[in-house]
Amino acid sequence: MALKIGDPAPEFTLATDIEGKEVTLADLRGKKVVLFFYPKDSTPGCTKESCDFRDQFDTFKQRKVEVLGISRDSTKSHARFREKYALPFTLLADTNGDVCESYGVINKKSLFGKTFLGIQRSTFLIDEAGIIRAIWRKVKVPGHVEQVLDELK
């Protein structure tokens, strides 16, 4: 069953791009969280989306909102990606895809005539109590970060 607004956000603990660190959603209670799922580090759309979040990071910070990016890439890949583009937020490694599955962002995709399962670009706004307050699926990168900020007003 697909997650909807008003549902509790599925709990998780994932490794970060900073060695030895983990993030648990429950530890973020009391803060709003923007959780954005993206297909792959250092690809054009994912780089643009991540840089858009980077460029508005101070606005999120002023509004006391935690920004977290999740993909199935490794922590090492995340570390290189974050360093290369000076991303100020944490990237989480869901290498086995369990969190992606629990948020319903794994879908059939096709590329060059081949079908495969991959992450559908999606963003979730989670409130201080761990409840989903907004969902964006099949995200189009241009203007997306502004949509998220508008929802936070």
Q: What is the pLDDT of residue 109?
A: 66
pLDDT, one tens digit per residue, over 95-113 is: 999 999 999 998 876 667 7
Task: State yes or no: is 46 an active-site residue.
Answer: yes
Using alpha carbons, select from 36, 47, 121, 34 the residue that is nearest to residue 80.
47
Q: Which CATH superfamily is domain 30-152 in?
A: Glutaredoxin (3.40.30.10)
* Per-run averaged pLDDT (10 residues), the chain, 153 residues: 92 88 95 96 93 97 96 94 96 94 85 76 97 95 96 90
- Which sequence spans correspond to the domains of the chain? 30-152
| Set 15, 33, 34, 46: catalytic member | 46
pTM over 0.85: yes
